[in-house]
């Protein structure tokens, strides 16, 4: 990034009064974007990958600390076999190709999901990315792959049971400690593209009090400017966490 581009990004960040520390994104609409143009669905996923790259790097420049994206859900295995195979190959190649870019930009890569069910080549590429960038201090980028919010809670409960914890001693903190990435804070903002109004089993436990922001455009059309608009909307909201808003807060 040039000096001018870096300064411009800082200027944008300065205009956002309160950045969310952690943003989760449901990257929806790739296949529909392609279909509406008479293209194979996999082309939409390829365009979505390009979008993710630009949005991630812009989030890093803005100073957002954590970005978690829904890359492949545990339910996505139900899609046509050729689409699933193509997605696995696309994510594998992206994990390999983008590692240098992630490392040079100080991005720390993490993953969430049942990795043992993924193809060996993809799992190995993801593990290498995590290990290579483990000491980076920029944005923490988590790829939720073969991920489901319910499955994560099930896996947490199984871990608690294996540890022999007394049922009467199980608290919300106990469950949070046993989630996939317990050191990552809960998301402040959840963005969903393509106009759908549902969570689709994404970060169900962690997103209990996240602010929701839905855009109509499909993920391949999402831009860094859209990310800034979401952050600006977040800054205007009053987060109450079940309590009453302070008198000084905006309605």
Which CATH number characterizes residue 55's domain? 3.40.1180.10
pLDDT per residue as tens digits for the range 61-108: 999 999 999 999 999 999 999 999 999 999 999 999 999 999 999 999
> Residue 3 — pLDDT band, cuts 50, 70, 90?
very low
State pTM to two decimals.
Answer: 0.90
Query: By the 8 A CB rule, do 175 and 206 touch?
Result: no
pLDDT per residue as tens digits for the range 108-141: 999 999 999 999 999 999 999 999 999 999 999 9
Q: Report yes or no on 11 lying in a domain.
A: no
Number of domains present in the structure of the chain: 1
Q: Report yes or no on 220 lying in a domain.
A: yes
Q: Report yes or no on 249 lying in a domain.
A: no
Q: Report yes or no on 127 lying in a domain.
A: yes
Give the DSSP letter of residue 106.
Answer: T
Q: How far apart are the C-alpha atoms of 147 and 78, rounded to whole Å?
A: 14
pLDDT per residue as tens digits for the range 166-184: 999 999 999 999 999 999 9
Q: How far apart are the C-alpha atoms of 108 and 83, rounded to whole Å?
A: 29
Q: Report yes or no on 15 lying in a domain.
A: no
Q: Report yes or no on 245 lying in a domain.
A: no
Domain region containing 221: 22-152+187-234
Give the ranges where 133-251 is alpha helix by DSSP (H). 149-162, 172-177, 224-236
CA angle (78 as vertex; 210, 33 as ends), nearest 5: 65
Could you give the residue numbers annotated as active site? Answer: 28, 76
Q: Report yes or no on 95 lying in a domain.
A: yes
Q: Report yes or no on 91 lying in a domain.
A: yes
């Amino acid at each position: 990034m040039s000096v001018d581009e870096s300064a411009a990004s800082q200027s944008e960040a300065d205009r956002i009064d309160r950045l969310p520390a952690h943003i989760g994104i449901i990257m929806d609409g790739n296949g529909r974007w392609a279909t509406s143009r008479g293209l194979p669905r996999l082309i939409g996923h390829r365009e979505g990958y390009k979008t993710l790259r630009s949005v991630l790097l812009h989030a890093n420049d803005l100073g957002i600390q954590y970005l978690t994206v829904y890359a492949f859900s545990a339910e996505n295995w139900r899609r046509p076999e050729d689409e699933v195979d193509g997605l696995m190959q696309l994510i594998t190649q992206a994990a390999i190709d983008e590692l240098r870019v992630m490392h040079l930009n100080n991005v720390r890569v993490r993953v969430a999901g049942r990795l043992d069910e993924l193809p060996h080549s993809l799992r190995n590429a993801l593990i290498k990315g995590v290990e290579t960038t483990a000491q980076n201090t920029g944005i923490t980028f988590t790829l939720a792959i073969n991920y489901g919010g319910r499955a994560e809670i099930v896996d947490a409960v199984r871990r608690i049971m294996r540890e022999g914890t007394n049922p009467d001693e199980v608290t919300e903190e106990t469950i949070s400690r046993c989630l996939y990435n317990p050191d990552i804070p809960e998301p402040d903002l959840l963005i969903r593209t393509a106009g759908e109004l549902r969570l689709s089993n994404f970060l169900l436990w962690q997103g209990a009090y996240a602010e929701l922001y839905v855009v109509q455009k499909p993920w391949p059309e999402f831009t860094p400017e859209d990310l800034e608009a979401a952050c600006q909307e977040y800054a205007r909201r009053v987060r109450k966490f079940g309590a009453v808003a302070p008198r000084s807060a905006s309605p």
